[in-house]
Amino acid sequence: MSEYIIQIDHVNKSFEKGSRTKDGTLREGVKVLDDVNINIKKGEFVTFLGPSGCGKTTLLRLIAGFLQPDEGRILMDGKDITNVPPYQRPLNTVFQRYALFPHLDVYDNIAFGLKLKGGMTEKEIDQRVRKVLKMVSMTDYEDRDVDSLSGGQQQRVAIARALVNQPKVLLLDEPLAALDLKMRKDMQIELKEMHQKLGITFIYVTHDQEEALTLSDTIVVIDEGRIQQIGKPKDIYDEPVNAFVANFIGESNILDGTMIEDKKVRFIDKEFDCVDEGFGENTPVDIVIRPEDIYITKKLEVAQFLGTVKSCTFKGVHYEMFVDTDDGYELMIQDYNAFDVGSKIGMIIKPTDIQVMHKFGKNIYEEKEYACNEIELLDNKEDGDLHGKIRSIIYKGNHYHIEVQTSDRKIFYVDTQEIWDKGDMVGIKFLNK
């Protein structure tokens, strides 16, 4: 038997040009999933994490069987299930919107599927329903109308309704998104406990990185239908493979750098020892430093570089400071001690805390390559050679790194001092043509 319960094998999916969105506008033909490969172990808690529109729900619907891939296969226990209809797959889905039957009470909502399927006695059904009611802590609510329940309680019923079928895999599509923060935190803990008790595989979808870090054994980070990284929460946090992942997972300082040679890197106008090798010599790279990994010292003579504290805010456990280095870069630092605004400080970064990453993406227009500072963004989209929408903005200590996407889904990377907003429509002008 296969070690994996679910395997997603070279899956591609496009939606046809001309289909309509909810508000009736015509969609462009788009590739929503691009060569997706994932192996999910039995009993694992796996989370698909990525921004809105990256393809998470589409991937879940493919696993559930509500959609077919254009290319590639879905395997379960090593067997190809690509053409098996949803109701014959031993899995159940919990959706973001609860989709409960409003005219049935809690008990009947949960029992409904089992009664419909047939083949079970009243007593067997009753035993199963009571067991899952207990599991989701809703035993006292069995006679209640679902309309009279809170959002969190309704979602518990939805989970119970999925679990009563005893699926091998539970698919959860942003099941907590509609709940307030406190309820969401409580439900996260309950879901984690439920997963441990049941021992079945959970495949969970969210765009909330904190939720993914809290819940998962494995996180799959997705952007634009492509897998960016698969790993344990700690590995993804400590060693993101690119600036997208670093920016998406938690707070960090993302900076331009140059790998001078093995174990030697330059950024913020200083040279640092690091532990990375194999990038070649004088190679442009991205650097990630987590805010808790920059040490502050009052002994300026032992520091690697100096700066001035610009702001200092207490965040409950630690202080968060913004510091201007003497060379003109802004860094975010977290420390258990507060340092006075305006005071001069020294800073130290350990070699193991410097994360070096390959830069990703090139700007190619009319067969010529452009550096990130050879592209200008314009307010008026008609004024550019092309136009597009701003998809992401990363602050790099002294400038912004912006990703702009054209309507045919080409992405250009632009470095600028100007402030733009995500979602802005802009003209894209290539300089030095």
Residues that bind ligand ATP (CB under 6 A): 15, 19, 27, 30, 32, 50, 52-58, 207
| Contact range with Mg ion by CB under 5 A, out of 27-35, 50-58, 126-134, 147-155 | 50-58
* Closer CB to Mg ion, 53 or 167, in the complex: 53
Which of 254, 234, 223 has the alpha carbon at shortest distance from 355?
254
- How far is the C-alpha of 221 from the C-alpha of 132, rounded, in Å? 31
Q: How far is the CB of 367 from ligand ATP (least distance, A)?
A: 28
The DSSP symbol for 432 reads -
Residue whose CB is less far from ligand ATP, 55 or 384: 55
Q: How far is the CB of 95 from ligand ATP (least distance, A)?
A: 11
Q: Which residue lies nearer to Mg ion by CB, 57 or 252?
A: 57
Evaluate whether 431 touches 375 at the Cβ level (below 8 Å).
Answer: yes
Q: Which stretch binds Mg ion (CB under 5 A): 52-60, 217-225, 301-309, 412-420?
A: 52-60
**Residue 93 lies near Mg ion (rule: CB under 5 A):** no
E-strand stretches of 124-179: 169-173
DSSP one-letter code for 145: B
For residue 377, the minimal CB distance to ligand ATP (Å) is 23
Nearer to ligand ATP, 50 or 384 (CB): 50
Decide which of Mg ion, ligand ATP, none touches 175; Cβ closer than 5 to 8 Å per partner kind: none
Q: Between 57 and 155, name the residue whose CB sits nearer to Mg ion.
A: 57
Q: How many other C-beta atoms can be found within 10 angstroms of the C-beta atom of residue 181? A: 8
| E-only strand ranges, 138-214 | 169-173, 201-206
**Eight-state DSSP code of residue 366:** T
Of 57 and 253, CB closest to ligand ATP: 57
Nearest to 287 by CA among 308, 304, 265: 265
Work out how close the CB of 392 gets to ligand ATP at its nearest, in angstroms, rounded to a whole number. Answer: 15
Of 208, 279, 278, 288, the closest CA to residue 241 belongs to 288
Establish if 47 lies at the interface with Mg ion (CB under 5 A): no
Chosen from ligand ATP, Mg ion, none, partner binding at 257 (C-beta under 5 to 8 Å by type):
none
Q: How far apart are CA 151 and CA 180, in angstroms?
A: 9
Shortest distance in whole angstroms from residue 37 CB to ligand ATP: 17
- Give the one entry of Mg ion, ligand ATP, none that residue 207 binds, where binding means its C-beta sits below a cut-off of 5 to 8 angstroms depending on kind: ligand ATP
Which residue, 117 or 409, is less far from ligand ATP as judged by CB? 409
Q: Which does 307 bind (CB under 5 to 8 A by kind): Mg ion, ligand ATP, none?
A: none
Q: What is the DSSP letter of 105?
A: B
Please, what is the minimum distance in Å from the beta carbon of residue 78 to ligand ATP? 26
Q: How far is the CB of 174 from Mg ion (least distance, A)?
A: 6
Between vectors from CA 94 to CA 136 and to CA 146, what angle results, nearest 5°?
60
Note whether 57 binds Mg ion by CB under 5 A.
yes
Q: How far is the CB of 35 from ligand ATP (least distance, A)?
A: 16
Beta-bridge partners for 270: 267
Q: Which is nearer to Mg ion, 58 or 153 (CB)?
A: 58
Residue 211 has, within 13 A of its CA and on its CB side, a CA count of 26
For residue 398, give both structure tokens: 């002294």
What's the rounded Cα separation, in Å, for the pair 160 and 44? 19
Residue 206 binding Mg ion, by CB under 5 A: no
CB-based contacts of 12, cutoff 8 Å, min separation 6: 31, 33, 34, 35, 36, 69, 70, 71, 72
Residue 15 interacts with which of Mg ion, ligand ATP, none, CB < 5 to 8 Å by class: ligand ATP
State how far the Cα of 375 lies from the Cα of 42, in Å rounded to an integer. Answer: 48
CB burial of residue 367 (10 Å; 0-12, 13-18, 19+): exposed
Q: Shortest approach of ligand ATP to residue 61 CB, angstroms?
A: 8
The interface partner of residue 397, options being ligand ATP, Mg ion, none and the CB cut-off 5 to 8 Å by kind, is: none
Q: Cβ distance 254 to 247 under 8 Å? A: yes
Which is closer to Mg ion, CB of 48 or CB of 141?
48
Chain residues in the site for Mg ion (CB under 5 A): 57
